[in-house]
Structure 1
Amino acid sequence: MPRNALLTQDELDFIQNMQHNPQLNLRDSSSSLTVNGGAQIRDLLTRLAAHDHVTIQAQFDNQQLTFPLQLVEDEFNAVHLRLGVPSIFEDGPMIRPWRLALETPVALENIRGIPGALWVHEVSFKGVLVEIRGRFKPPKTFALWFSPSGYERIALRGTLQRETARGLFAYRISQSNVDETERLRHFILHQHRLAHPHVHA
């Protein structure tokens, strides 16, 4: 290579390998959004998303997926519309968040990762249904960690709502951290994909 070359041969080979690696060239189809219909519609959606909460709603069978539209800025300072992680609801006598029934209950853990007396049977992006193991009274509130197998643990803050006929306790989740909320929504979305593959195909 000439002495004044900007890149070494190894660096050039690395860049070429990256360009031809099919795994690295895959787009995240779940978050990409192309708006066909002209600049006026795209501009309107962009202005609305910048100043207000805009969602796209999909309905199938007895469920609704509500996707927030978000404005994101890329590395070139260009602004794009992106679909956020959806909120999943189920229809019934009243519309409520879709609950994921866990195959095996998961113990909520303290900061050190030690399981406690609260075991999660069902989880939604708004609440959890827990069993109290041992001779403990249900706490009015908790701030613990949810660690489903194969996933990064998620901080949960819960407030007791009621006891169910099955002897479980319903807690409303109120996340103080946006990242924790997003991680919980991602977990629920991933489980929804596994439960309803025909919807996400």
Structure 2
Amino acid sequence: MQPDSLLSQDELDFIRSLHNSPQGELADTGAGLAVEGAGRLQDLLLRLVARGCVTIQAQFQNQQLSFPLRVAEDEFHAQRIRLGAPTIYEDGPMVRPWRLALAEAIPLQDRNGDASSLWVVEISVNGLVLQVRDGGAAPEVFSLWFAPHGYTPIALRGSLERQTADGLLAYRLVPHDPQETERLRDYILEQHRLAHPHLHS
């Protein structure tokens, strides 16, 4: 090693091991999708993805996964197509977004972190099944926070759809902030991974 080198040989070896590790390669492969094809086809695909018109669909047993594609720009202003967290659907009499049935109901919170009278029993990317507690009334619309243990609270807005046969309330989620929607998708994907480890292994 040259005497004026900034890094020792051990430091260089460590950096090389990080760069050449299989984990680093695996992490990088999911960062973007390489698209092969003529320039016009790539331009068309980028325009469609930028408008939110393109998804990748996958079918596994009785579930469908729909991955949204997004255009991301790196520090050199090069555009890449990135996968977003999927919406998971389950087959049945109707195809509907996969619902996570919570082991224990979780109260929605106000902006101060105080529990409301609305408790989440089931949640999906586009709706909630809620229970009203403490004598509260069921609002037509709400804007509250979903704060499962170990996660940063997720802002939700909902609109009352109907009362279920067992006295619970079904609310449709009203999209209002793409980042909050993506965080909810990530949460549901993580819970789906825990509920169906064979699919994610």
Q: TM-score range by the shorter chain?
A: 0.7 to 0.9
Counterpart residue number, 2:38: 40
Distance in 1, Cα, partners of 2:169 & 2:11: 55
Q: Does the Cα contact within 8 Å between 2:102 and 2:122 map onto a contact in 1?
A: yes
Given residue 162 of structure 1, which amino acid in structure 2 is its aligned partner? R
Counterpart residue number, 2:86: 86
Distance in 2, Cα, partners of 1:52 & 1:175: 15
Distance in 2, Cα, partners of 1:27 & 1:101: 30
Counterpart residue number, 1:20: 17
Gaps of 5+ in 2: none
Counterpart residue number, 1:148: 148
Q: Does the Cα contact within 8 Å between 1:31 and 1:84 map onto a contact in 2?
A: no
Distance in 1, Cα, partners of 2:188 & 2:141: 22
Gaps of 5+ in 1: none
Counterpart residue number, 1:194: 194
Describe the superposition over 1:22-78 as per-residue Cα deviations: whole angstroms up to 9, x where unpaired: 59835155554344xx42397254354245511110011111100112222222222
Q: Does the Cα contact within 8 Å between 1:117 and 1:133 map onto a contact in 2?
A: yes
Q: Does the Cα contact within 8 Å between 1:63 and 1:90 map onto a contact in 2?
A: yes
The 5-angstrom pairing of residues 155-166 of structure 1 reads: 155-166=155-166
* CA spacing shift, 1:51–1:184, aligned 2, 3 Å: closer
* CA spacing shift, 1:9–1:18, aligned 2, 3 Å: closer
CA offset at residue 16 of structure 1? 6.5
Q: Does the Cα contact within 8 Å between 2:52 and 2:69 map onto a contact in 1?
A: no
TM value normalised by structure 1 = 0.84
Counterpart residue number, 1:179: 179
Counterpart residue number, 1:106: 106
Distance in 2, Cα, partners of 1:133 & 1:50: 43
* CA spacing shift, 1:141–1:84, aligned 2, 3 Å: same
Given residue 124 of structure 1, which amino acid in structure 2 is its aligned partner? S
Given residue 72 of structure 1, which amino acid in structure 2 is its aligned partner? A
Distance in 2, Cα, partners of 1:15 & 1:177: 44
After superposing on structure 2, the runs of 4+ consecutive aligned residues of structure 1 that deviate more than 6 Å are 12-16
Distance in 2, Cα, partners of 1:197 & 1:143: 33
TM value normalised by structure 2 = 0.84
SS class of match (1:85): coil
Counterpart residue number, 1:128: 128
Aligned length: 194
CA offset at residue 89 of structure 1? 0.8
SS class of match (1:82): strand
Say what the alpha-carbon RMSD is for the aligned residues.
Answer: 2.5
Say whether residues 1:49 and 2:46 are aligned partners: no
Over the matched positions of the two proteins, sequence identity in percent amounts to 48
* CA spacing shift, 1:31–1:96, aligned 2, 3 Å: farther
Q: Does the Cα contact within 8 Å between 1:49 and 1:71 map onto a contact in 2?
A: yes
Distance in 2, Cα, partners of 1:31 & 1:196: 23
SS class of match (1:27): helix
Given residue 159 of structure 1, which amino acid in structure 2 is its aligned partner? S
Given residue 72 of structure 2, which amino acid in structure 1 is its aligned partner? V
Given residue 194 of structure 1, which amino acid in structure 2 is its aligned partner? L
Q: Does the Cα contact within 8 Å between 1:71 and 1:82 map onto a contact in 2?
A: yes
